Amino acid sequence: MAKPIKKEPVMSVKGMHDIMFDDVHYVERVMKEVRRVAEFYGFQPITTPHLEKTELFERPLGEESDVVEKQMYNLRTRGGDKLSLRPEGTASVMRAYFEHGMQSLPQPVKLVYGGSFFRHETPQQGRFREFRQVGVEIIGDDDAINDAISIRVLFSALQGLGLKDIVINVNSLGDRVCRPAFRKELLAYYKRHFNQLCKDCKQRFKDNPLRLLDCKEETCVALRKDAPQMMDHLCEVCKKHFSEVLEYLDEMGIPYFLDVHLVRGFDYYSKTVFEVFEIMSPPQVVEEGDEQGVKPEVATFTKIALGGGGRYDDLGELIGNRKIPAVGWALGVDRVAELMKKKSIKSRPETHPKLFLIQLGPAAKKKSLVLMEELRKIGVPIAHSLSKDSLRAQLNIVSKLEIPLAVILGQKEALDGTVGVRSMETGIQETLPMDKFIGTIKSRLKEFS
């Protein structure tokens, strides 16, 4: 008989991981909180497919963007269609807007979505190949109040998740009217310093000069300091729009930092752009002299953004041949969940069981099934080990779980219609009729909350 070939066990794909146990609760909590706040502000949920036609992303996101150029998971169907696993959600939501005739609904249309997205990036801390996002889009209105409302939802959701040290970095990228002149000046500046640019930036200089401002290489970061700023080139319309956004943020008391070099990874942005970060060290407050107030430039932020977004008034033309102004953002759910864990924020409201069910003998085991369902109906979580039959094995488990009360159902109790309730701290046990136990257990458990 041929010897079986020893095979390595099949593992998950690099950069794509299983999410297990309490981590699932974290992911769900982030998604739910964003949806809860968004729905309060009138957003409606939408779910779009994981696979889309490749062309939906190519031009709209930017043919020279890192995501389109290097990170898309592309495939060809047997019929020859070119499809891609979605790398982000905005293009899909915009497609859905046109496909379902949402222009005929009252504008703006406000949508909230979430799920898995895919980018073939080098996996590292907070960067995966399959990751989750939750985001909102406000489509069909160019008023600055929409930019502010979207940021309101972002900020409130993060606060609702217990994340207090959050700052929004904002900038304006101008529009088709004012950006070309800025681009020209930027190119002139970087042309003078071309030899100091890193290899990638030499390419960016040709393909996508705005992205020069986003390079993390030391020499490029140093060059950025004296680079021209879009803020100095904004046309009157963009200037007014941006100052309105900032006024609304001031009015709502949302902390922001004007990051004049902030650019984003996709080509579709215009006017407002923003990213949200955890503050690592708080801004320094200066109390004396001329420079009273907060000096945000002294604050340090985490390097990786928790989320980002902005206005994309030209995307509609690329996807649906119509100019439809819009604004939105997406939050990196995995990154937010990680931060919550780091800060010991709970994944969900307290549901740790305070009761453990011990059953002894076949009749009691059957009765346990009924008792557990009764407790579920009145909302009392209970731990158990129905597959263990010995008292000692079950008591061993209770002691490890730090549960204050054990409910004991033995052969005698099963016949009598009673249960034993034992305090794990004192060892004192009382016997109660089953109906009395169900009627009083909720209030008794309050002692342990």
Q: Which residues of the shown chain bind ligand HAM in the complex (CB under 6 A)? A: 88-90, 119, 121, 126-128, 131, 133, 135, 137, 265, 305-310, 312, 328-330, 332, 334-335
- The partner residues of 70 in beta bridges, in order of sequence, read none
**Residue with Cβ nearer ligand HAM (143 or 374):** 143
**Residue with Cβ nearer ligand HAM (174 or 308):** 308
- The partner residues of 84 in beta bridges, in order of sequence, read 52, 74
**Residue with Cβ nearer ligand HAM (204 or 335):** 335
Q: Minimum CB separation from ligand HAM for residue 212, in Å?
A: 18
**Residue with Cβ nearer ligand HAM (16 or 286):** 16
Query: How far apart are the C-alpha atoms of 235 and 241, rounded to whole Å?
Result: 10
**Residue with Cβ nearer ligand HAM (30 or 419):** 30
**Nearest Cα to Cα of residue 169 among 268, 252, 264, 247:** 264
Query: How far apart are the C-alpha atoms of 421 and 357, rounded to whole Å?
Result: 10
**Residue with Cβ nearer ligand HAM (65 or 359):** 65
Q: For residue 38, report the phi and psi dihedrals to the nearest 5 degrees.
A: -60, -45
Contact between 90 and 315 (Cβ < 8 Å): yes
What is the 8-class DSSP label of residue 67?
I
- In angstroms and rounded to an integer, the radius of gyration of the C-alpha atoms of the chain is 28
Question: Residue with the closest Cβ to ligand HAM?
Answer: 332
Query: How far apart are the C-alpha atoms of 366 and 386, rounded to whole Å?
Result: 10
Q: Minimum CB separation from ligand HAM for residue 335, in Å?
A: 5
Contact between 50 and 89 (Cβ < 8 Å): no
Q: Minimum CB separation from ligand HAM for residue 332, in Å?
A: 2
Q: Which residues contact 447 (CB under 8 A, 6 or more apart)?
A: none
Q: Minimum CB separation from ligand HAM for residue 364, in Å?
A: 49
Contact between 441 and 375 (Cβ < 8 Å): yes
Q: Which residues contact 167 (CB under 8 A, 6 or more apart)?
A: 255, 256, 257, 276, 277, 279, 296, 299, 301
Q: Which residues contact 317 (CB under 8 A, 6 or more apart)?
A: 323
**Residue with Cβ nearer ligand HAM (126 or 160):** 126
Q: Minimum CB separation from ligand HAM for residue 169, in Å?
A: 11
**Residue with Cβ nearer ligand HAM (126 or 420):** 126
Q: Minimum CB separation from ligand HAM for residue 333, in Å?
A: 8
Burial of 320 (0-12, 13-18, 19+ CB in 10 A): middle
**Residue with Cβ nearer ligand HAM (296 or 309):** 309
Q: Minimum CB separation from ligand HAM for residue 83, in Å?
A: 19
Q: Which residues contact 131 (CB under 8 A, 6 or more apart)?
A: 116, 117, 118, 119, 332, 333, 334
**Maximum alpha-carbon separation in the chain:** 92
**Residue with Cβ nearer ligand HAM (37 or 371):** 37
Contacts 24+ apart (CB under 8 A), 420-424: 424/398, 424/399
**Residue with Cβ nearer ligand HAM (93 or 238):** 93
Segment holding 300, helix H or strand E: strand 300-301
Tokens of 169: 């970095």
Q: Minimum CB separation from ligand HAM for residue 58, in Å?
A: 15
Q: Minimum CB separation from ligand HAM for residue 117, in Å?
A: 7
Calculate ∠ Cα 100-106-107, nearest 5°.
Answer: 90
Q: Minimum CB separation from ligand HAM for residue 356, in Å?
A: 39
Q: Minimum CB separation from ligand HAM for residue 87, in Å?
A: 7
